[in-house]
A and B are shown apart, each in its own frame.
Chain A
Amino acid sequence: MVVDVSLGMGLATIGVGLSMGVAAIGAGIGTGIAGAASTAGVAEDPKQFGMSLVMCAIPQTQGVYGFLGGMMILIGTGILGGPAGFAAAATKMAPILGTTPEQAAVVMGLACVGAGLGNGLGGITAIGQGITCAANIGSVMKNPAIFGKAVVLAAMSETFAVFSLVTALLILIGMKIMGG
């Protein structure tokens, strides 16, 4: 039997794109703001390159979470195996949902949009984190002793990105897209 899963598969790939793309916007801007401050810091004192690099790297983690979220969707829905892989996942899910495989495919796709969008938006926290890191670069240059505390303060924004990733993971597990 041939199952038409094109709509569901299309939605799931939008979820993947949102997860990575939106998180990349956040991480990119956050890193850009911290990077501007890093350039200034290194221009004043080249010895501060190491510290500046750490501060620039912190907002990048949200991009990694976006990538992880995207990978979870790709693997869980079987998209990596092509339409046949996605159709197999939808057929497996249909009895659980009590629907046809076509309908299950759309529901899976919508769940992936939710998971991907949530995870991607979590990546926007990198902008706030980049602002904190930029301020930290100035503050640590003024008083190097506060480096550890500055990193802890910068990590505060990270919490919400982690919550977003975990929520995305729970959506995929709850929908039996992963681990089902």
Chain B
Amino acid sequence: MTVEELVTSVGFPSIPLAFMVMLAGALVIGIGAILVWGIMHVIDLSGYAYIHARVMSMESRLIREEKLKEMMGASTLAGVHAALETTDYSPYLQEMMEARAEAIERALNKHMAETYHDISKMVFNSLGVSDLKKLLDIILQKWDVYNLKRILRGIYAERSIDEIRADLVPVGKLEQDRKTLDLLVGAKSMEEAISGLVGTPYAALATSLPAFDQTKNLTVLEAKLDKILYENLWKVWKEVMPKKSGSDNAGDMFYLNAYLAALIDVLNLKFLFRGKGDKVPSGTLESYLVAGGDLPASLVKGLIEMETVGSMVSALEGTKYYQPVVGAAQEYDATGSILPIETALDKYLAKVTNDLSRMKPFGMGPVIRYLSKKEIEIRNIRAIARGKEVGLSLDDITKLIVKVGT
């Protein structure tokens, strides 16, 4: 039997047509395989699309500049309270029915906690237990550190248990561990509180106790807490990143890495500037710096040894932190206050989070940007409320405000 006879026997009119039909079949199967592969990679986007839309909507409700100006221009704290009535904070304020800075602060804390709960639940429901979720868990732990600082400050100032409790933001792992939290809040001394941290990631705080006993300076303990938190964050990140850098999330990883590195650099720089301003000895400064970030170790070592804030600013030339800091340094020269430099660094970090969200909208960027903006918003309202209560001028309050650009 010839090939032609074989081809015609199976129903093909000619060899070329049989060849074309087989080619068409192969093409359809090949394209089908590529499509399935492509679709498998694209389908995960729906989780991020959900998160993106919700977070953007939440961002649209952040307090705008005009509202902040209205609050800053209020003649009394009651005016600030009234301005907040039309915002997301309204339900918490109504609950309290009092125009005191403390009440406003408690409302802010409650709102912050619920925001974090909502975001955490949303990320978990949309993405499941992913490596990025692990990262968010670590980011959430900063509220443990915040609460621990509040507890330590409360014990230091000999405040009552109820007063300390009122200051806490109900977010983070510690909040879920009521037994440890009760032990900490009820502690009569720093030693007792710190010994209550055994078994938690903050047990290493005990190593800073002798330094605190010597200086009676709370910054020693607070800086150690930051060091524990951010070094843990950086460690988890370095475990997650190599797994993800070759994946579909590679772009997300790149920008997340830039954000986390900037977060640690800014923290270290703020600590160094503040330390130099307060004439803290170099050896003490070095022991509290967070390992990690993008700044070269040699540069950080150089900064520690420098005598003046001006020389530190000059040493940063060539890094991405020079431009943000150099303008604020002039203000430092005029006023002697480190605050403008710290605010400039915070603004730079806010810009990095903006970039993170803009360059990779379907990733963790929008979530981090929103949380960052929310924290800045709360800090701004707190500054205005406290400022109004102690009678700060409009100019002084304005200097404390960080614009988030909503």
Task: Give every chain B residue within 8 A of A102 (Cβ-Cβ).
Answer: 13
* Given contacts A36-B46, A40-B54, A131-B362, A25 and B35 within 8 Å (CB-CB): yes
A93 at interface by CB-CB < 8 Å: no
Distance A16 CA – B68 CA, assembled complex (angstroms): 60
Task: Give every chain A residue within 8 A of B366 (Cβ-Cβ).
Answer: 138
B1 at interface by CB-CB < 8 Å: no
B45 at interface by CB-CB < 8 Å: yes
A157 at interface by CB-CB < 8 Å: no
* Given contacts A40-B57, A142-B60, A11 and B50 within 8 Å (CB-CB): no
* Given contacts A29-B43, A124-B35, A131-B362, A40 and B21 within 8 Å (CB-CB): no
For B59, give its contact among A43, A135, A137, A142 (CB under 8 Å). A142
A167 at interface by CB-CB < 8 Å: no
Most chain B CB within 10 A, of A43, A114, A138, A141, is at A138
Instruction: Give residues 122-160 of A contacting B (CB, 8 Å).
Output: 124, 127, 131, 134-135, 137-139, 141-143
Q: Identify whether the interface residues of B are mostly helix, strand, loop, or mixed.
A: helix
Contact B57 A138 (CB under 8 A): yes
CB distance from A157 to the nearest CB of B (A): 13
* Given contacts A29-B43, A44-B57, A34 and B14 within 8 Å (CB-CB): no
Instruction: Give residues 20-48 of A contacting B (CB, 8 Å).
Output: 22, 25, 29, 32-41, 43-45, 48
Instruction: Give residues 244-277 of B contacting A (CB, 8 Å).
Output: none
Contact A142 B57 (CB under 8 A): yes
Distance A11 CA – B27 CA, assembled complex (angstroms): 13
Contact B31 A121 (CB under 8 A): yes
Instruction: Give residues 115-151 of B contacting A (CB, 8 Å).
Output: none
* Tally of B interface residues using CB under 8 Å: 34
Contact B45 A33 (CB under 8 A): yes
B28 at interface by CB-CB < 8 Å: yes
Distance A17 CA – B46 CA, assembled complex (angstroms): 27
B20 at interface by CB-CB < 8 Å: yes
Most chain A CB within 10 A, of B20, B53, B54, is at B53
Contact A143 B60 (CB under 8 A): yes
Distance A139 CA – B14 CA, assembled complex (angstroms): 58
B12 at interface by CB-CB < 8 Å: yes
CB distance from B363 to the nearest CB of A (A): 12
CB distance from B219 to the nearest CB of A (A): 39
A79 at interface by CB-CB < 8 Å: no
Instruction: Give the bracket for the number of chain A residues in contact with chain B.
Output: 35 or more
Task: Give every chain B residue within 8 A of A131 (Cβ-Cβ).
Answer: 42, 45, 49, 362
Contact A29 B47 (CB under 8 A): no
Contact B46 A33 (CB under 8 A): yes
Task: Give the residue name and chain of the A residue nearest to B54 (CB).
Answer: A40
* Given contacts A33-B45, A37-B50, A110-B24, A22 and B35 within 8 Å (CB-CB): yes
Distance A59 CA – B394 CA, assembled complex (angstroms): 51
Fill in one digit per residue for A37-66: 1 if any B CB lies within 8 Å of its CB, else 0: 111110111001000000000000000000
Distance A179 CA – B38 CA, assembled complex (angstroms): 37
A117 at interface by CB-CB < 8 Å: yes
Task: Give every chain B residue within 8 A of A72 (Cβ-Cβ).
Answer: none
For B53, give its contact among A4, A11, A18, A41 (CB under 8 Å). A41
* Given contacts A36-B46, A40-B50, A131-B362, A106 and B12 within 8 Å (CB-CB): yes
Task: Give every chain B residue within 8 A of A4 (Cβ-Cβ).
Answer: 11
Instruction: Give residues 55-76 of B contacting A (CB, 8 Å).
Output: 55-60
CB distance from A167 to the nearest CB of B (A): 16
Task: Give every chain B residue within 8 A of A127 (Cβ-Cβ).
Answer: 39, 42
Contact A135 B21 (CB under 8 A): no
Distance A44 CA – B122 CA, assembled complex (angstroms): 12
Residue pairs across A and B with Cβ atoms less than 8 A apart, 9 shown, are: A14-B28, A32-B46, A110-B21, A113-B24, A135-B52, A135-B361, A138-B53, A138-B366, A142-B57
What 8 A-B pairs are tightest by C-beta distance, nearest first? A138-B56, A134-B49, A44-B57, A37-B53, A40-B53, A40-B54, A36-B46, A141-B57
Give me the interface of A with B, judged by CB distance under 8 Å. Answer: 4, 6-7, 11, 14, 18, 22, 25, 29, 32-41, 43-45, 48, 100, 102-103, 106-107, 109-110, 113-114, 117, 121, 124, 127, 131, 134-135, 137-139, 141-143
Besides A41-B54, A141-B53, A141-B56, 6 other A-B contacts (C-beta < 8 A): A36-B49, A124-B35, A134-B46, A134-B49, A135-B52, A138-B52
